[in-house]
Structure 1
């Protein structure tokens, strides 16, 4: 599966760092968005394979944004956060998101893990 990625986060610094990290890992970041409305617009326009959505957008719930995205696009949605999964496990499980990645662990390998892919097949 291709990994053309859209990142939705309200932190410009994180967006820049995540884009750099993922592109260095071989994941093309086709766009970024900082709000739910922008995420919906960019996802419809860019049709990414994966949308990374921060749980805590400025004044918006990433869970609500994920639900909206799931209704509008066929992209795989992965929630991201600086909070631990334990804090949100039930909400993440009930959401349309495929899974969760902690921001500190964000990598092509982590995304492929959520997607159930083995990546390149090389040993860790």
Structure 2
């Protein structure tokens, strides 16, 4: 599975890349802004795009909604260090495939969201 990571924290991107690749995913690129994300989604056509909810001056939920509305070819999975409880209504309304807390990020967690066996269940937003 090919993955694009959208996060403005370079340290997290490096750690996530190692973690996801250890789980069998291929990280095809990373972006730190909405503009970069749109360009990379179009050119790299990842199987999934991971988007941090907190993109500094930008909002990852808005980006997920824009990607969804634009017909982007890959589903979006939102990630955050914060609990989904803080954003649950916005997360469910933006068209994202699901949410994974950064503390539980793994290739298997991403696969579970995409397979529909998780997403916005209680276990994902305690």
> Do Structure 1 and Structure 2 share a fold, with TM-score over 0.5?
yes
Q: 2:51 aligns with which of 32, 50, 53?
A: 53
CA contact (8 A) 1:9 1:54 kept: yes
Q: Distance in 2 between matches of 1:21 and 1:47?
A: 21
> Does 2:9 align with 1:11?
yes
Q: Could you list the runs of 4 or more consecutive aligned residues of structure 1 that deviate by over 6 angstroms after TM superposition?
A: none
Q: Helix, strand or coil for the counterpart of 2:29? A: strand
Q: Distance in 2 between matches of 1:97 and 1:14?
A: 21
What residue is the counterpart of 2:74 in the other structure? 75
What residue is the counterpart of 2:37 in the other structure? 39
Q: Helix, strand or coil for the counterpart of 2:51? A: strand
Q: CA deviation at 1:117?
A: 6.6
Q: Distance in 1 between matches of 2:89 and 2:62?
A: 14
**Structure 1 residues 87 and 10 mapped into 2: Cα distance closer, same or farther (>3 Å)?**
same
> Does 2:94 align with 1:95?
yes
What residue is the counterpart of 1:66 in the other structure? 64
Q: Distance in 2 between matches of 1:72 and 1:11?
A: 26
- Structure 2: which 5+ runs fail to align? 118-126
Q: Helix, strand or coil for the counterpart of 1:15? A: helix
Q: Distance in 1 between matches of 2:23 and 2:108?
A: 8
Q: Distance in 1 between matches of 2:24 and 2:34?
A: 26
What residue is the counterpart of 1:121 in the other structure? none
Q: CA deviation at 1:72?
A: 4.4
- Compute the TM-score of the two structures, normalised by the length of structure 1: 0.90
What residue is the counterpart of 2:120 in the other structure? none
CA contact (8 A) 1:40 1:68 kept: no
Offset from partner CA, 1:45-77 (integer Å, 9 cap, x none): 100010000001010000111122221412010
